[in-house]
Amino acid sequence: MGVGTTIKDRVLSGMQPSGALHIGNWMGALENWVKIQEEFESYFMVADYHSLTTGYHDTHDLPQKIFDMVVDWLAAGLDPERSIIFRQSMVAEHAELHLLLSMITPLGWLERVPSYKEKLKELAQRDIHTYGFLGYPVLQSADIVLYQAHKVPVGQDQVPHVELTREIVRRFNGLYGEVLVEPEAVLTEARVLPGVDGKKMSKSYGNTLSLGESEEALSQKIRTMVTDPARIRRKDPGHPQLCPVFSLHKVFTDAERVRDIDRSCQEASIGCVDCKALVSSAINLKLHPIRERRSLWKSQPDKVEEILHEGARTAKVMAHQTLDAVKDAMHLNTLT
Ligand code: SF4
Tens of pLDDT, residues 191-242: 889 999 999 999 888 999 999 899 999 999 999 999 999 898 989 999 999 9
155 and 254 together in one domain: no
- Catalytic residue list: 119, 200, 203
- The fraction of the chain above a pLDDT of 70, given in percent, is 97
In this structure, are residues 6 and 37 in contact, taking their beta carbons and an 8 Å threshold? no
287 and 181 together in one domain: no
Q: What is the CATH number of the domain that holds 161?
A: 3.40.50.620
Please report the atom of ligand 1 found closest to the CA of residue 262: 3
14 and 31 together in one domain: yes
For a mutational test of ligand 1's pocket, the pick from 223, 231, 262, i.e. the residue with the most ligand atoms closer than 8 A to its C-beta, is 231
What is the Cβ-side half-sphere exposure of residue 178, based on CA atoms within 13 angstroms?
A: 2
User: How far apart (Å, rounded) are the C-alpha atoms in residues 281 and 283?
Assistant: 6
pLDDT at site 8: 47
Ligand 1 midpoint to CA 269 (Å): 10
In this structure, are residues 211 and 239 in contact, taking their beta carbons and an 8 Å threshold? no
Tens of pLDDT, residues 243-285: 999 999 999 999 999 999 999 999 999 999 999 999 999 999 9
Nearest to 182 by CA among 172, 168, 173, 169: 169
Q: How much is the average pLDDT of 323-331?
A: 97
176 and 257 together in one domain: no
Nearest to 47 by CA among 127, 142, 122, 118: 142
Ligand 1 midpoint to CA 185 (Å): 38
Please report the atom of ligand 1 found closest to the CA of residue 271: 1
Ligand 1 midpoint to CA 259 (Å): 12
* pTM listed for this prediction: 0.90
The number of folded domains in the chain is 2
Please report the atom of ligand 1 found closest to the CA of residue 276: 7
Please report the atom of ligand 1 found closest to the CA of residue 225: 7
Which residues line ligand 1 at a C-beta cut-off of 6 Å? 227-228, 231, 238, 240, 243, 245-246, 265, 270, 272, 275-276
Quick one: how far is CA 75 from the chain centroid? Answer: 15
145 and 243 together in one domain: no
Q: What is the CATH number of the domain that holds 276?
A: 1.10.240.10
Question: Is the pLDDT reported for residue 7 higher than 50?
Answer: no
Tell me, yes or no, whether 207 lies in a domain: no
Ligand 1 midpoint to CA 133 (Å): 43
Does 41 or 292 have the greater pLDDT score?
292
Domain encompassing residue 52? 3-193+301-329
68 and 161 together in one domain: yes
Question: Is the pLDDT reported for residue 327 higher than 50?
Answer: yes
User: How far apart (Å, rounded) are the C-alpha atoms in residues 129 and 133?
Assistant: 7
